[in-house]
């Protein structure tokens, strides 16, 4: 469990679907933000019962809403809705077998989420909606960026140069200071984000 800045924290744990040869590291991050008096859980994966520090913190200030930022980040949205009775938001469509049982309110680029969070387009055509947290001056990504071995990179896509990079560069108009990602090292700076736009995109290493 780690604090990013006041009102924004995360926890990391191994993802149950990870297996050898996956193009992502086994540990993934889940996020909680409090903004304008509203607590929102972003892409939460329920921690194990033994993680009492995480559960105690969730219980101290339970989420008012949960948001899924990408179709394959459904994770434990159904459990959070059942346990906390929260409002749930997410993608327009899903393409995996783990379609949530909860009917999610749709998130589209340009939408304002609970707490004043703002949704954007990552430009990859994968329906990810990274969110800007105005009170924390932070951007939170599902998969558009990743940080294998701690280095922030843009995840590769067929539309990398044509759409992804231009969409991500548009985010530089926002006054963010923190960049938070699910995969790899979760915490990065604005300077790291700028550098990532100039690095080669990340794809599954050869031989994996």
Tens digit of each residue's pLDDT (9 = 90 or more) over 145-195 = 999 889 999 999 888 999 999 999 999 999 999 999 999 999 999 999 999
Tens digit of each residue's pLDDT (9 = 90 or more) over 21-50 = 555 566 899 999 999 999 999 999 999 888
Q: Kindly list the domain boundaries of the chain, sorted by start residue.
A: 2-19+27-198
Exposure on the CB side of residue 146, measured as CA atoms within 13 A: 19
Tens digit of each residue's pLDDT (9 = 90 or more) over 117-152 = 999 999 988 789 999 999 999 999 998 999 988 999
Percent of the chain with pLDDT over 70: 90
Q: Pick the residue with more confidence: 117 or 92?
A: 117
- The CA distance from 180 to 189, in Å, is 9
Residue entry with tokens 């469509």:
93
The DSSP code for 113 is P
Give the model's pLDDT for residue 115. Answer: 97
Residues facing residue 39 across a β-bridge: 34
Give the model's pLDDT for residue 1. Answer: 94
Average pLDDT score, the chain: 90
Q: Do residues 172 and 130 touch, judged by C-beta distance below 8 A?
A: no
2-19+27-198: CATH topology is Metallo-beta-lactamase; Chain A (3.60.15)
Opening angle at CA 27, ends 105 and 155, nearest 5: 70
| Predicted TM-score (pTM) of this structure | 0.91
């Amino acid at each position: 469990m780690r604090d990013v800045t006041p009102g924004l924290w995360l926890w990391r744990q191994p993802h149950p679907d990870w297996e050898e040869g996956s193009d992502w590291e086994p540990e993934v991050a889940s996020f909680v933000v409090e903004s304008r008096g509203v607590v929102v859980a972003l892409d939460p994966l329920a921690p194990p019962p033994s993680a009492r520090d995480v559960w105690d913190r969730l219980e101290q200030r339970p989420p008012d809403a949960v948001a899924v930022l990408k179709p394959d980040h459904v994770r434990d949205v159904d459990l959070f809705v059942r346990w906390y009775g929260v409002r749930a938001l997410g993608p327009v469509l899903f393409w995996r077998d783990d379609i949530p049982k909860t009917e999610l309110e749709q998130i589209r680029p340009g939408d304002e989420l609970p707490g004043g969070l703002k949704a954007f387009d990552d430009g990859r055509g994968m329906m990810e909606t990274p969110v800007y947290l105005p009170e924390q001056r932070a951007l939170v990504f599902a998969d558009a960026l990743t940080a294998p071995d701690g280095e922030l990179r843009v995840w590769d896509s067929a539309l990398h140069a044509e759409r992804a990079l231009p969409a991500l560069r548009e985010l530089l108009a926002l006054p963010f200071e923190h960049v938070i990602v699910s995969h790899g090292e979760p915490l990065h700076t604005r300077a790291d984000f700028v550098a990532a736009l100039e690095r080669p995109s990340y794809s599954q290493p050869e031989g994996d």
